[in-house]
Amino acid sequence: MHGHFPPSSRVRELEYAIREIAALARELERKGRRVIYLNIGDPPRYGFSPPPILRRALAEAIEEGYNFYAPSEGLEEFRQAIAERERRTNGVEMEAEDVIVTQGVSEAISFIMAAMLEEGDEVLLPSPCYPVYVNYVRLHGGIPRFYRIVEEGGEWKIRLENSPISPRTKIVVIINPHNPTGALLSREELASLIDAAREVGACIVSDEIYDRIVFEGDFYSTATLSDDVPVIGLNGFSKSYMVTGWRIGYMYFSDPEGRLTEVKEAIVKLARNRLSASTPAQKALAEVIRSGESFIEDLKREFKRRRDLLLDLMGEVEGAVLTAPRATFYAYPRLTVKGDWGDDLGFAKKLLMEEGVAVVHGTGFYDYRRDRFRLVFLPPPDVLGEAVEKIRAFIKRHASQAQ
Ligand SMILES: Cc1ncc(COP(=O)(O)O)c(C=O)c1O
């Protein structure tokens, strides 16, 4: 008689709160309840489709025979198109050979942590943080540490004072624009992160997957601001091309002194083990990048319309304040009242059970203030209006005292 197989202790520790709330929501739906999903940053789930030019290009790529394994680093013409795109839209000096194509930014994060971390190495992350970073750091034996992103005078600001950065810090992670707050980091803030990394000899990983979804202010790509500190830039097509399910992203190395040369080789070695990212998807995206990406402007206008509506609607909600997201499609309100929901997780669960509205609690993003939640403003205006009204009524019904 043999025993059951327990999962490895490394994996037992992992959490992914965004998807856990979704599982609870699906269970409710199975029981016949209607659920308004405000919990997942997945535009195609809310009726957004990839532009027709891209859908056609994918069909053509398949017809033309792009059905083989691509090189592990990515199709050459796609890497070239990506380098051109980064030069044109973000001013990053780079060539095709600096690019490695990945199965989404998620895979790039996993490759980097696998290739760089030894047991006990520290990685400085923003708090709140996109949770995949924390999981991959832990999976590869690293220790996540956090700097804060806080509200100050109606703006999101990073706080580096008293951050746990030290010579043990191997990587400083920047997420700009930022999930879950919608913050857009200023040039000065990026410079201060670069300075902090330089001081302790760390490199920077800069996740810029929302770079094209900016409503106000200027976006700066971290690599353009660093002369010496090596930067691995991450970007992808899931969000601004509305192809989350195609699983295509990329990383590029901006490393003037060649300090990451061996890490890059190690990442290529990892990439070879999974053979290739989707070849027809790479071919199709290469065609469309070269066409100028004009569809993104229309998309952004629509996202902004919904963001503005959400700001108006949230203004009417007593017991929650929202610092305006200047980018992305996320909003991250703070509860200003206590209620019989308990903490933020209690709030998210009770709101889901009673009102059928799915949001994600702040602790799901490693935010230990326990009074925030994230919602996406991707649904159409009438649904967004209905959802916020349910949130308003819920807070009113359950609030106990002012904080
Ligand atoms: C900051 C950030 N990075 C990466 C990802 C994952 O992107 P991909 O679909 O390219 O794996 C997301 C998805 O929500 C994200 O918010």
Report the separation in Å between the CA atom of 44 and the middle of ligand 1, taken as the mean of its atom positions.
14
At residue 13, the pLDDT reads 74
Report the separation in Å between the CA atom of 240 and the middle of ligand 1, taken as the mean of its atom positions.
11
Residue closest via CA to ligand 1's atom 7 equals 105
Residues with Cβ within 6 A of ligand 1? 41, 104-106, 130, 175, 179, 207, 209, 236, 238, 244, 249
Which residue's entry shows tokens 């490693």? 366
Q: Atom of ligand 1 at shortest distance to CA of 109?
A: 4
Sequence-ordered list of residues with C-beta below 8 angstroms from that of 319, at least 6 positions apart, any chain = 335, 336, 337, 339, 395, 396, 399
At residue 401, the pLDDT reads 57
Report the separation in Å between the CA atom of 40 and the middle of ligand 1, taken as the mean of its atom positions.
11
Please give the domain boundaries of the chain with CATH numbers for all domains.
9-49+295-402 (3.90.1150.10), 52-290 (3.40.640.10)
Sequence letter at residue 312: D
At residue 12, the pLDDT reads 81
Report the separation in Å between the CA atom of 403 and the middle of ligand 1, taken as the mean of its atom positions.
34
Q: Atom of ligand 1 at shortest distance to CA of 239?
A: 9
Report the separation in Å between the CA atom of 263 and the middle of ligand 1, taken as the mean of its atom positions.
22
Q: Atom of ligand 1 at shortest distance to CA of 238?
A: 9
- Which token pair is 152? 């100050």
Distance CA(374)–CA(376), nearest Å, equals: 7
Whether cis (ω within 30° of 0) applies to the bond prior to 144 is no
Ligand 1 test: best mutation among 239, 241, 285, most atoms within 8 Å of CB? 239
> How many residues are present in the chain?
403
Report the separation in Å between the CA atom of 1 and the middle of ligand 1, taken as the mean of its atom positions.
44
Three-class SS state of 147: strand
Percentage with pLDDT > 90 across the chain: 91
Q: Atom of ligand 1 at shortest distance to CA of 108?
A: 11
The structure's pTM equals 0.96
Sequence letter at residue 360: V
Report the separation in Å between the CA atom of 398 and the middle of ligand 1, taken as the mean of its atom positions.
34
Ligand 1 test: best mutation among 39, 213, 238, most atoms within 8 Å of CB? 238
Sequence-ordered list of residues with C-beta below 8 angstroms from that of 91, at least 6 positions apart, any chain = 221, 224
Note the pLDDT tens digit of each residue in 212-253. Answer: 999 999 999 999 999 999 999 999 999 999 999 999 999 999
Report the separation in Å between the CA atom of 241 and the middle of ligand 1, taken as the mean of its atom positions.
13
Distance CA(264)–CA(108), nearest Å, equals: 11
Burial of 157 (0-12, 13-18, 19+ CB in 10 A): middle
Terminal Cα-to-Cα distance of the chain (whole angstroms): 57
Beta strand 122-127 with 143-152 is: parallel
At residue 1, the pLDDT reads 67
Distance CA(324)–CA(165), nearest Å, equals: 29
Ligand 1 test: best mutation among 125, 130, 135, 174, most atoms within 8 Å of CB? 130
Report the separation in Å between the CA atom of 102 and the middle of ligand 1, taken as the mean of its atom positions.
12
**In the chain, which residues have pLDDT < 70?**
1, 401-403
Give the side-chain half-sphere CA count within 13 A for 261. 4
Nearest to 255 by CA among 95, 102, 108, 89: 95
Q: Atom of ligand 1 at shortest distance to CA of 105?
A: 10
Note the pLDDT tens digit of each residue in 96-142. Answer: 999 999 999 999 999 999 999 999 999 999 999 999 999 999 999 99
- Answer yes or no: are the C-beta atoms of 248 and 106 closer than 8 Å: no
Three-state SS letters, 62-115: HHCCCCCCCCCCCCHHHHHHHHHHHHHHHCCCCCHHHEEEECHHHHHHHHHHHH
Q: Atom of ligand 1 at shortest distance to CA of 237?
A: 10
Q: Atom of ligand 1 at shortest distance to CA of 106?
A: 11
Report the separation in Å between the CA atom of 106 and the middle of ligand 1, taken as the mean of its atom positions.
6
Residue 398: which H helix or E strand, with range? helix 381-398
Report the separation in Å between the CA atom of 107 and the middle of ligand 1, taken as the mean of its atom positions.
10
- Which token pair is 350? 């009770």
Ligand 1 test: best mutation among 100, 105, 330, most atoms within 8 Å of CB? 105
At residue 14, the pLDDT reads 79
- Concatenating the DSSP letter of every residue in 350-381 gives HHHHHH-EE-EEGGGGT-TT--BEEEE--S-H
At residue 280, the pLDDT reads 98
DSSP-derived letter for residue 160 is -
